[in-house]
Amino acid sequence: MKKIKKTATNIFLIALGLTFLFSCASVDQQTQKDTKEPPKKAPVTKEEVKPQPKAPPRETREPSKKAPAAVGEKHPEHTKQTPPKTPPEPLGEATSQQKYYDMGMRYYSQEKYAEAKKSWQRVIKLGKRTALADKARENIKKVDQILKTLKEMSGR
């Protein structure tokens, strides 16, 4: 009888885990679509459309070697100013949240439930009122249920 009960519990856990993985994957795909799509704007009438000025073409050729300019005369190549390079943007809150959310999903797929839970808790800490934080809360609830069931199965 105990063996049947244990087998049934194992099958239930496997089914629960697969259901969780599929639901997380579909939610994750939807989140990725949402982050890739730009926000929708109100329709623009023809009168509101202003032509954008075209950027001048970049010179890709090497500058020609000309005779040096006379003293006091400015050489045209020396008058060009190049804009300063801007440093790369630091990782934003959403990127960090996504990183920890994905890390939690990897841990979950490896059945490292405690680590997955910690990663998802970090997602919530980084932003309490985001879509990823909501998904992380749902995942934490499911992991807590799995951990509780595993604890009951081991008889502790």
Please check whether residue 67 lies inside any domain of the structure: no
Tens of pLDDT along 103-115? 999 999 999 999 9
Please check whether residue 78 lies inside any domain of the structure: no
Q: What is the pTM of this model?
A: 0.44
Catalogue the long-range contacts made by 91-94 (C-beta closer than 8 Å, 24 or more residues apart). Answer: 93/126, 93/127, 94/35, 94/127, 94/130, 94/132
Please check whether residue 83 lies inside any domain of the structure: no
Please check whether residue 77 lies inside any domain of the structure: no
Q: Model confidence at 126, in pLDDT bands (50, 70, 90)?
A: very high
| Contacts for 69 with CB less than 8 Å, ≥ 6 apart | 75
Q: What is the pLDDT of residue 11?
A: 83
* Total tally of structural domains belonging to the chain: 1
Please check whether residue 100 lies inside any domain of the structure: yes
CATH of the domain at 6: 1.25.40
Residue 43 has pLDDT above 60, yes or no: no
> How far apart (Å, rounded) are the C-alpha atoms in residues 148 and 130?
27
Please check whether residue 49 lies inside any domain of the structure: no
Please check whether residue 45 lies inside any domain of the structure: no
Work out the mean pLDDT of the chain and round it to a whole number: 74
- What does residue 80 show for φ and ψ, rounded to 5 degrees? -70, 135
Please check whether residue 30 lies inside any domain of the structure: yes
| Contacts for 96 with CB less than 8 Å, ≥ 6 apart | 126
Q: Model confidence at 4, in pLDDT bands (50, 70, 90)?
A: confident
- Give the orientation angle of helix 93-109 with respect to helix 2-36, to 10 degrees: 150
Residue 62, SS3 per DSSP:
coil
Tens of pLDDT along 45-103? 555 555 566 665 555 555 555 555 555 555 555 555 555 554 343 456 668 899 999 99
Q: Which domain holds residue 142?
A: 2-36+92-154
Q: What is the pLDDT of residue 24?
A: 72
